[in-house]
Amino acid sequence: MNDIPQAGTADLAHKIARLVEERGWNQEDLARISGLNRQTVRQILQENGERRLRNATISACARALGLSVSELRGIPLERLLPRMNGASLSTEEDRVRRLYEQATQPELLAWMERNGERARQLTPEEIDELLSLQGTGGPLTGFGVDRFVDLLERKRQLLHKVHAIAGTEYLEMLEKLVSLMYEKIQPYADRK
């Protein structure tokens, strides 16, 4: 599936070329950072010609630029350019807008309408996770948006507490507790 060229990617190739230029990278830089071969990079960055990108190429370029594929495809170029210079797009408004724009599952859209404040609290990573679970009969449908967001919030609160504990004299105790718990799940972790 990754080997099938995607139609209509000339605009995306132009967007990638512009973002690479904004980073101050040349062909060599993009090839090295993305892991793509020089021929592919040259085709992406050339100004003319038929540029049809494969899914794997788009993914490699997005990773190199510090973006998700959905950000690279969905966010307009003028909003991505500041990010190449270190500005963050993860303001609350941008995160919520992205969630609304990319949510296709009716259950997720309804949840956002009912829980606007909770939606604004989601981190970019949590939004990525929610969006990746969409789909008819997918995990988000079966598990339920409310229950899944509850889990995301619980994990966020737990990580916040762990961070606080790690900065105290209880760090050694925390390490031991985490090691013990990790040993218990190790067979599960190895199966992933």
Q: Is the pLDDT of residue 87 over 70?
A: no
Does residue 5 fall inside a structural domain?
no
Look at residue 136 and tell me whether its pLDDT is greater than 60.
Answer: yes
The answer to whether residue 4 sits within a structural domain is: no
Q: Same domain for 163 and 97?
A: yes
Is residue 144 domain-shared with residue 118, that is, in the same domain? Answer: yes
Task: Select the more confidently predicted residue: 93 or 43.
Answer: 43
Q: How far is CA 131 from CA 69, 71, 83, 151, in A?
A: 12, 12, 21, 15
Question: What's the structural domain count of the chain?
Answer: 2
Per-residue confidence (pLDDT) for residue 187, from 0 to 100: 66
Give this prediction's pTM. 0.48
Place of tokens 């990754």: 2
Q: Are residues 96 and 146 both part of a single domain?
A: yes
Q: How confident is the model at residue 133 (pLDDT cuts 50, 70, 90)?
A: confident
**For residue 2, what pLDDT is reported?**
41
Q: Are residues 185 and 100 located together in one domain of the fold?
A: yes
Domain that holds residue 78: 10-84
pLDDT at 134: 84
Instruction: Spell out the residues 6+ positions from residue 72 whose beta carbon is closer than 8 angstroms to its own.
Output: 12, 15, 16, 58, 61, 62, 65, 80
The answer to whether residues 110 and 129 belong to one domain is yes
Tens of pLDDT, residues 14-52: 899 999 988 888 999 899 989 999 999 998 888 765 667
Residue 66 has a pLDDT of: 82
User: Is position 1 within any domain?
Assistant: no
Confidence of residue 89 (pLDDT cuts 50, 70, 90): very low
